[in-house]
């Protein structure tokens, strides 16, 4: 008989359950900690991202304010904004800053009309006060190596009233100038020695010329007047022009007219908000091929591509893009808004891929139309403290002119496509752009200098900022 107390027996199943529970609890605790850490990290990253966006947008706004007074600082702030956070707003701001200084004052004289040859070398500007039209050779203006720019080379005189419209052929050798009673034809083969070769009389002496258009070769001219008539002229013999037709195009004054390169297609717009497409295959019998369905808004502007397939029509602060692949059935491909409130003039490059728009503002806007169904804003150009009446573009969009109450500005935009495609590369290619600590404190809204600058450095190399810093 064994008198020793019975040995305590353990339950192996209970120990297993305890160990399992402990492991589950540990795993759950680890998962909770990981999830909490990830949530904290996500919230932290989101907060930092919001800070970067706010900082970038703030720098871009300061850059916009400084473009006139301190263009170098404006450029550096614009670059920093894009480097810190690249989005549509900061990229557009950098592009605008980079092109801001491309403009120069051609003349301070108020002008209501401007025209430009295809190569951007010959320009016409109509003086509001004198009624004269100045002829400019822009060769020296487009050469950055030439410091002393040439003055106007000639003046077109003879109108008794203020000049209401001007037109220039693609090669710059034929010009039209029109006033209340007549349109003059000018030979500009030698721009410094213009010759008035003919007068195109209106149907009635009281018919004021509202708009003029020339085919690229200068052989076909169209005149639109206050009575709503459109007159087609053959200028093959410039000194002996032949009137081919007079057509009642609209019931009110024709506000604008545009002509394809070959003179075969025209678009007209009146003061009551109506626009029409005209087939000039037989210039002596123009045929209206279609009306454009538009909101009824007064005083529309219009433009047409060289091949006659793309038409722009403005309605105050909106621009409609139309395709004329089928002239009898124009198709609206896009519509976009321009922050002008109203629009006084537009220009379109012959290829139909770049438009320049201006109105009662100190700025005008370039839009890219390479994709007719998806127009994109390219850049804003600032040239005046007052409204802009008339604009013109060279054939490839490399030269732009703007005329208004503050004078005439010339813009060299020959590498604009490169700037728009990659503004960061364009800004940082040739310069070591920097911001000082003082500028950072002034414009960065309290953002920590050390989060973006190299430790120990007193300047911030903005082109070296890495997105996602911090």
For 142-159, write each residue's pLDDT tens digit. 888 888 888 899 999 988
Q: What is the C-alpha separation between 218 and 330, in angstroms, rounded? A: 27
Confirm whether 2 is domain-assigned: no
The pLDDT score that the predictor gives to residue 45 is: 52
Complete edge-to-edge strand list for the sheet that includes strand 103-107: 103-107, 407-412, 399-404, 388-393
The helix-helix angle for 12-66 and 71-84 (nearest 10°) equals: 160
Confirm whether 419 is domain-assigned: no
**87-107: per-residue pLDDT in tens?**
999 999 999 999 988 888 999
Q: How confident is the model at residue 66 (pLDDT cuts 50, 70, 90)?
A: very high
Across 445-449, average pLDDT: 86
**393-431: per-residue pLDDT in tens?**
998 899 999 999 889 999 999 888 899 999 999 998 867
Across 261-288, average pLDDT: 92
Confirm whether 7 is domain-assigned: no
The pLDDT score that the predictor gives to residue 340 is: 79
Which tokens in the block code for residue 156? 């077109």
Residues 359 and 447 occupy one common structural domain: no
Q: What is the C-alpha separation between 71 and 57, in angstroms, rounded? A: 18
Across 168-197, average pLDDT: 93
Q: What is the C-alpha separation between 67 and 417, in angstroms, rounded? A: 21
Distances 77 to 70, 74, 92, 93 between C-alpha atoms, Å: 11, 5, 13, 10
Q: Is the pLDDT of residue 2 over 90?
A: no
Q: How confident is the model at residue 35 (pLDDT cuts 50, 70, 90)?
A: low
Residues 329 and 206 occupy one common structural domain: yes
Name the DSSP class of 295: -
pTM metric for this prediction: 0.84
Nearest to 302 by CA among 341, 357, 239: 357
Q: How confident is the model at residue 203 (pLDDT cuts 50, 70, 90)?
A: low
Contact 67, 77 (CB under 8 A): no
Confirm whether 21 is domain-assigned: yes
**Unique residue bearing structure tokens 């003055």:** 151
Residues 92 and 171 occupy one common structural domain: no
Please say whether the dihedral angle defined by the alpha carbons of residues 86, 87, 91 and 93, taken in this order, is positive or negative: negative
63-88 burial, b for 16+ CB within 10 Å, e for fewer?
A: bbebbeeeeebbbbbbbbbbbbbeee
Q: Find all residues with CB under 8 Å of 65, minimum gap 6, and list them.
A: 74
Query: Can you name the residues that pair with 198 across neighbouring β-strands?
Result: 185
Q: Is the pLDDT of residue 467 over 70?
A: no
Burial of 44 (0-12, 13-18, 19+ CB in 10 A): exposed
Confirm whether 470 is domain-assigned: no
Q: Is the pLDDT of residue 29 over 80?
A: no
Confirm whether 403 is domain-assigned: yes
Residues 48 and 178 occupy one common structural domain: no
Q: How confident is the model at residue 297 (pLDDT cuts 50, 70, 90)?
A: low
- φ and ψ at residue 352, rounded to 5 degrees: 75, 15
Q: What is the C-alpha separation between 83 and 461, in angstroms, rounded? A: 11
Residues 325 and 205 occupy one common structural domain: yes
Q: Is the pLDDT of residue 433 over 60?
A: yes
Residues 63 and 92 occupy one common structural domain: yes
Residues 144 and 122 occupy one common structural domain: yes
Residues 379 and 243 occupy one common structural domain: yes
Structural domain count, the chain? 2
Which tokens in the block code for residue 290? 């279609």
CATH for 157: 2.130.10.10
Residues 255 and 270 occupy one common structural domain: yes
Confirm whether 256 is domain-assigned: yes
Residues 312 and 208 occupy one common structural domain: yes
The pLDDT score that the predictor gives to residue 324 is: 92
Confirm whether 35 is domain-assigned: yes
**206-243: per-residue pLDDT in tens?**
468 889 999 999 999 999 988 889 999 999 988 899 99
Q: What is the C-alpha separation between 451 and 470, in angstroms, rounded? A: 6
Distances 379 to 88, 124, 411, 413 between C-alpha atoms, Å: 12, 24, 12, 10
| Domain end call among 372, 389, 412 | 412
Task: Report angle CA 103, 107, 112 to the nearest 5 degrees.
Answer: 95
Which tokens in the block code for residue 400? 């732009």
Q: Is the pLDDT of residue 329 over 80?
A: yes
Domain hosting residue 74, numbered range:
14-96+424-464
Q: What is the C-alpha separation between 246 and 107, in angstroms, rounded? A: 37
Residues 363 and 436 occupy one common structural domain: no
Residues 231 and 365 occupy one common structural domain: yes
| Domain end call among 368, 390, 412 | 412
Q: Is the pLDDT of residue 4 over 60?
A: no
- φ and ψ at residue 274, rounded to 5 degrees: -110, 145
Q: Is the pLDDT of residue 266 over 80?
A: yes
Q: What is the C-alpha separation between 278 and 264, in angstroms, rounded? A: 8
Which tokens in the block code for residue 378? 């390219």
């Amino acid at each position: 008989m064994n008198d020793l107390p019975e040995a305590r027996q353990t339950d192996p199943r209970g120990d297993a359950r305890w160990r399992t529970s402990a492991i589950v609890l540990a795993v759950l605790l680890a998962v909770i900690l990981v999830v909490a850490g990830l949530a904290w990290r996500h919230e932290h990253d989101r907060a930092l991202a919001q800070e970067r966006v706010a900082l970038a947008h703030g720098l871009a706004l300061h850059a916009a304010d400084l473009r006139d007074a301190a263009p170098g600082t404006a450029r550096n702030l614009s670059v920093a904004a894009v480097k810190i956070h690249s989005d549509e707003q900061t990229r557009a701001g950098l592009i605008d800053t980079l092109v801001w200084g491309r403009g120069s004052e051609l003349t301070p004289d108020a002008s209501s009309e401007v025209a430009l040859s295809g190569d951007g070398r010959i320009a016409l500007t109509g003086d509001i006060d004198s009624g004269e039209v100045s002829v400019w050779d822009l060769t020296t203006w487009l050469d950055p190596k030439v410091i002393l720019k040439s003055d106007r080379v000639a003046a077109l005189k003879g109108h008794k009233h203020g000049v209401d419209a001007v037109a220039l052929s693609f090669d710059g050798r034929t010009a039209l100038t029109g006033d209340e009673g007549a349109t003059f034809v000018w030979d500009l083969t030698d721009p410094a020695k213009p010759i008035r070769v003919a007068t195109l009389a209106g149907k009635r002496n009281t018919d004021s010329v509202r708009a003029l258009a020339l085919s690229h070769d200068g052989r076909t001219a169209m005149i639109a007047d206050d009575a709503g008539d459109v007159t087609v002229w053959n200028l093959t013999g410039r000194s002996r022009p032949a009137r081919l037709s007079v057509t009642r195009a609209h019931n009110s004054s024709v506000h604008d007219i545009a002509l394809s390169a070959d003179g075969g297609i025209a678009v007209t717009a009146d003061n009551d908000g109506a626009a029409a497409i005209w087939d000039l295959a037989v210039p002596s019998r123009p045929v209206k091929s279609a009306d454009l369905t538009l909101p009824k808004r007064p005083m529309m502007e219009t433009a047409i591509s060289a091949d006659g397939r793309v038409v722009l029509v403005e309605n105050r602060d909106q621009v409609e893009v139309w395709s004329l692949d089928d002239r009898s059935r124009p198709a609206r491909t896009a519509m976009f808004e321009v922050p002008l409130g109203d629009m006084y003039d537009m220009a379109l490059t012959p290829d139909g891929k770049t438009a320049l728009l201006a109105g009662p503002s100190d700025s005008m806007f370039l839009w890219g139309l390479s994709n007719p169904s998806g127009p994109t804003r390219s850049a804003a150009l600032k040239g005046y403290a007052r409204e802009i009446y008339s604009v013109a573009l060279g054939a490839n969009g490399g030269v732009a002119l703007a005329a208004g109450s503050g004078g005439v500005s010339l813009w060299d935009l020959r590498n604009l496509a490169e700037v728009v495609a990659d503004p960061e590369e364009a800004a940082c290619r040739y310069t070591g752009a920097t911001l000082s600590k003082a500028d950072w404190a002034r414009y960065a809204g309290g953002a920590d200098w050390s989060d973006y600058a190299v430790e120990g450095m007193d300047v911030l190399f903005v082109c070296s900022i890495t997105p996602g810093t911090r």
